[in-house]
Amino acid sequence: MSSKPDREDIEKLRLLASVTVNASDAIVITEAEPITELGPKIIYVNKAFEQMTGYTASEVIGKTPRILQGPKTDRAELDKIRAALLKREPIRSDLINYSKDGSERWIELEIVPVANENGIYTHFISIQRDITARKKIEAELQKFFALVDRSSDFIAMCSMEGKILFVNEAGRKLVGLNTLEEAVSKKLSDYLPEEDVASFYQSILPKVIDEGRTLSEAKLRHFKTGETIDVERSCFIVRHPENQDILCLATVQRDITERKKAQAAQLRAQVAEEINKQLEKEISERKKVERKLRYSNLHDNLTGLANRVLFMDRLKQAIFKLKRHQDKLIAVLFLDLDRFKVINDSLGHYCGDRLLIEFARRLTKCLRSIDTVARLGGDEFSILLEDLKDSTDATTIARRINEEMRLSFNLCGQEVFTSASIGIAFASSEFDSPENLLRNADIAMYRAKERGKGRHAVFNSKMHDRAVELLQMENDLKWALERSEFCLYYQPIVSLETRKIMGFEALIRWQHPERGLVSPAEFIPLAEETGLILPIGFWVIQEACYQMRIWQQQSQSNRKLSVSVNISGKQFAQTDFVEQVGQILQETNLEPNCLRLEITESILLEEIELATSMLLRLKELGVKIYLDDFGTGFSSLSYLHRLPITELKIDRSFIKSMEVEVEGLEIVRAIVVMAHNLGIDVIAEGVETQQQLQKLRNLNCAYAQGYLFSPPVNRDAAYDISSDRGGESKFY
Ligand code: C2E
Ligand code: MG
Ligand code: MG
């Protein structure tokens, strides 16, 4: 129900309006009737209206609000307002209005119908607020939210108290929420894994407030699965643009699960690669060690050459290859350094080693790269020559090697000469065995050595027979002592002054069951090599002393006879050698000065200090010493005066040469003079002729021994000689 307002009403309104005059909102009062298409008539506007619209009150009073509307004013909204006004209901609306100058502006409109005391609606009071700025912000915000919603990142806002205000669509999807309503119904702490909540409030939030923003890696909780999602989180504070009050906390978070996974995978890959590298390194180290080990298993440590194992393997392969290349020949060279022992003993092992290294180097120089050189041990080397056309290829190489060795070796500051004895064996068929081939080369090497130093010899089957013979002999030698196959022959030593026998040299013979009487030259070196010389030598001394004692007892004239026994280096090196001799003398009851020991210069050479003390002890025992084969060995007279030597025996080669060469005679003369000066008597060995005897007599040589007087004879014959011509009777 409405009616025209009366005067009183208007006054009332004016009063009301005066109150609103200074209000900041625009106030418009209209009549309640009639509500036409254009709206009710304006009867009052306040100051704020005038300022807002640019119209003066007089310009609008009597007009309808239509004056304020324009093209962008929402028609539907106007219809809605009119419908409300017709029903006399209050209404709120946002509309675009136009100022006098035509400019647009958003207003928030609130229209209230006013009734008088009778309940009749007489007017509408409309309060208009300029919300252009807000609308602008809202429009911007709309755009912003549209953007935010389209973003694939998790974007959210919450109040400082932790109330969620907004979570965009991507964010909701990420944490398993469907609607915004659902999202805002949660608290901030619900979005975090339980264990991160405290640290967020204690350290992250204060930091954001302090610095405005933070960037860190964090975790979100998935509402459905409860699993955590790795994110990169940027938090910042939103402040009021004017007063800078904190409005809310905003966050943009990016799902980095994939990146994390990739990082973890990369890390795992890195670790795996690191482990792999480590493993590879270890394997390669182990391989290196294995290679080294394999190398050292197959190579000689000193020279770096192949060792016996590798050599034999190569030889085996080479022989196998002959199957396919029947026109080819392979050769094995066996080398042994001449005089190595002398060099090693005199210059020491260090220099000996240097010699072997240098020797190996020169050897390699003489060969092709396909040839195999090996050190078999000690001073023994071997060479495998493959693909030879004929045997002269190998002998040429052997010659070249000795040519190369002819140059001196400089060892530890000393110039040393050496050569090699080389044995050569050939194989032309696959049926030869590597062992036999090497053995044949070894046998040939021995033959080469026998021929002199720096020679080579090619193996033939005769050599093999000889080697077999030697082996057989070695075997037989082992039993010879037990089987009493040894006997002593005796050769008289005659005084050139008295022409009487002064004694006998005991010389061993081997009565071999098949070979007959074997000379010591044949089996003594073998006995020395095998060590059998020790029991044999002991037996010789024992037998000689025993025999001499018998002869002495048999005849008064034999009382002064002596017996001399040859002693080998090995015997002499025994520490209890003097005791052994003493024991034999005691057992046989022979006067010690009736026993003479014949030693050679080489024995003295080995260790002069030790040899000297040994000789002094023997002298103490009363035994005399002969220096045998004088002139053939070291030939240095310088040490003679220091040694307790009673006689020296000039080697028979000098006696022989005395007859044919002038120098020979001079050498013998010099030896005799020198020996006399040292108070040593001389025995001439191997006197065979009267001329020799005469010359020796002229030189005042004291004693002689030789076929001229008697060859070595067995004990009965020797006894005959001694009883016939020994003692008182003259020998010649
Ligand atoms: P040796 O000690 O120089 O002995 C002298 C050698 O010369 C003996 O040879 C002897 O038969 C030989 N001989 C003596 N007078 C003449 C001569 O006028 N003309 C020629 N051409 N030769 C003569 P044998 O008995 O064959 O002994 C050879 C070597 O064997 C000995 O040389 C000695 O070194 C060694 N020997 C012999 N018996 C033993 C022994 O019981 N023990 C040791 N360790 N060695 C022995
Ligand atoms: Mg002798
Ligand atoms: Mg001799």
Residue-wise pLDDT for 210-256, tens only, equals: 998 899 999 999 999 999 999 999 999 988 777 788 888 999 999 99
Pocket flag, ligand 1, residue 479 (CB < 6 Å):
no
Tell me the pLDDT tens digit for each residue of 335-383.
Answer: 999 988 888 888 888 999 999 999 999 999 999 888 999 999 999 999 9
- What percent of the chain is helix, strand and coil (3-state, nearest 5)? 50, 25, 30
Residue 651 in contact with ligand 1 by CB distance below 6 A: no
Nearest to 486 by CA among 546, 550, 540: 540
39-96, pLDDT tens digit by residue?
A: 789 998 988 999 999 999 999 999 999 899 999 999 999 999 989 988 999 999 999 9
User: What pLDDT does residue 149 have?
Assistant: 80
Using a 6 Å cutoff on CB, does residue 568 contact ligand 1?
yes
User: How many angstroms separate the alpha carbon of residue 455 from the centre of ligand 2?
Assistant: 29
Pairwise CA distance, residues 416 & 407, whole Å:
9
Q: 404, exposed or middle or buried, with CB in 10 Å at 0-12, 13-18, 19+? A: middle
* Ligand 1 in reach of 528 Cβ (< 6 A): no
Paired sense of beta strands 329-337 and 380-388, if any: antiparallel
Distance 712 CA to ligand 1 centre (A): 9
- For ligand 1, is residue 493 a contact (CB within 6 Å)? no
Q: What is the pLDDT of residue 689?
A: 95
Nearest ligand, CA 508: 1
Alpha carbon distance 479, 460 (integer Å):
30
- As a whole-number percent, the residues of the chain with pLDDT over 70 amount to 95
Instruction: State residue 18's pLDDT score.
Output: 61
CA of 90 to the centre of ligand 1 (A): 159
Q: Is the pLDDT of residue 674 over 60?
A: yes
Whose atoms come closest to the Cα of 564: which ligand? 2
Nearest CA residue ID for atom 27, ligand 1: 520
Integer CA distances (angstroms), 493 to 55, 285, 542, 569, 684, in order: 171, 74, 20, 23, 9
Nearest atom, ligand 1, residue 649 CA? 3
Across the range 434-455, mean pLDDT stands at 91
Q: Residue 19: is its pLDDT beyond 80?
A: no
The pLDDT confidence band at residue 15, using thresholds 50, 70 and 90, is low
CB of 121 within 8 A of CB of 2? Answer: yes
631 CB near ligand 1 (under 6 Å):
no
With beta carbons less than 8 A apart as the criterion, state whether 439 and 461 touch: no
Proximal ligand: closest to the CA of 539: 1
The torsion angles phi and psi of 43, rounded to 5 degrees, stand at -120, -10
Say whether pLDDT at 450 is over 80. yes
| pLDDT tens-digit readout, 608-617 | 788 888 999 9
Q: Region 465-470: what's the mean pLDDT?
A: 82
Q: Which residues surround ligand 3, an ion (CB under 5 A)?
A: 628-629, 685
Tokens 């459905």 — which residue?
224
Residue 11 is predicted with a pLDDT of 64
688 lines ligand 1 (CB under 6 A): yes
Nearest CA to ligand 1 atom 12: 686
Between CA 599 and CA 613 the distance in angstroms is 14
Q: Are 641 and 610 in contact (CB under 8 A)?
A: no
Residue 234 to residue 209: CA distance in whole angstroms? 13
- pLDDT surpassing 70 at residue 285: yes
Residue 396: CB atoms within 10 Å: 10
* H or E segment and range at residue 99: none
pLDDT given at position 726: 47
Q: Whose CA is nearest to atom 2 of ligand 1?
A: 566
Q: Is the CB of 566 under 6 A from ligand 1?
A: yes
- Average pLDDT of the segment spanning 123-127: 91
- The CB of 492 under 6 Å from ligand 1? The reply is no
Query: Residue 344 has what pLDDT?
Result: 84
Give the ligand whose atoms come closest to the C-alpha of residue 571.
1
Q: Residue 257: count other Cβ atoms within 10 Å of its Cβ.
A: 15
Determine the pLDDT at residue 3: 46
pLDDT at 128 over 60: yes
Under 8 Å between Cβ of 626 and 563: no
Q: Which ligand is nearest to the CA of 651?
A: 3
Among 319-328, 362-371, 437-446, 529-538, where is mean pLDDT lowest? 319-328
Given a cut of 80, whether residue 606 has pLDDT beyond it is: no
Average pLDDT score, the chain? 89
Ligand 1 centroid distance, CA of 723 (Å): 23
Length, in residues, of the chain: 732
- Integer Cα distance of 372 and 386 in angstroms: 9
**Sign of the dihedral through C-alpha 30, 34, 40, 42:** negative
CB contact at 8 A, 122 and 148 = no
For ligand 1, atom 34: residue with the closest CA: 566
Distance CA(502)–CA(594), nearest Å, equals 10
CA of 532, nearest ligand number: 1
* Residues, Cβ < 5 Å to ion ligand 2: 566, 598, 628
Distance (Å, rounded) from C-alpha 320 to C-alpha 316?
6
Q: What is the pLDDT of residues 148-190, one digit of tens each?
A: 888 889 999 998 888 898 899 999 999 999 998 999 899 999 9
Atom number, ligand 1, closest to the C-alpha of residue 488: 41
User: 568-605: per-residue pLDDT in tens?
Assistant: 999 998 999 999 999 999 999 999 999 999 998 888 77
Paired tokens of 214: 């933070």
Ligand 1 pocket residue status of 707, Cβ below 6 Å: yes
Name which residue leads in pLDDT, 475 or 342.
Answer: 475
What are 623-643's pLDDT values in tens digits? 999 999 888 765 566 677 778
Q: How far is the CA of 236 from the centre of ligand 3 (A)?
A: 117
- The Cα 401–Cα 335 span in angstroms is 10
- Spell 461-500 as b/e; 16+ CB within 10 A means b: eebbeebeebeebeebbeebeeeebbebbbbbbbbbeeeb
**pLDDT for 7:** 63
- Nearest-CA residue for atom 11 of ligand 1: 712
Reported in sequence order, the residue ranges of 499-645 that DSSP labels E, i.e. its strands, are 501-512, 516-518, 562-566, 595-600, 624-630
Residue 251 Cα distances to 179, 205, 431, angstroms: 18, 11, 92
> Which ligand neighbours the alpha carbon of 506 most closely?
1
| Amino acid (1-letter code) at residue 27 | I
The residue whose CA is least distant from atom 43 of ligand 1 is 566
Ligand 1 atom at minimal distance to the Cα of residue 705: 15
How far is Cα of residue 169 from the mean position of the Cα atoms in its chain? 62
pLDDT at 16: 65
Question: If 0-12 CB within 10 Å is exposed, 13-18 middle and 19+ buried, where does residue 704 land?
Answer: buried
> Which amino acid belongs to residue 439?
R
Q: What is the DSSP letter of 60?
A: H
Average pLDDT over residues 678-682: 91
253 CB less than 6 Å from ligand 1? no
- Range with the lowest mean pLDDT among 119-128, 136-145, 270-279, 496-505? 136-145
Probe ligand 1: pick from 530, 565, 566, 713, max atoms within 8 Å of CB?
Answer: 566
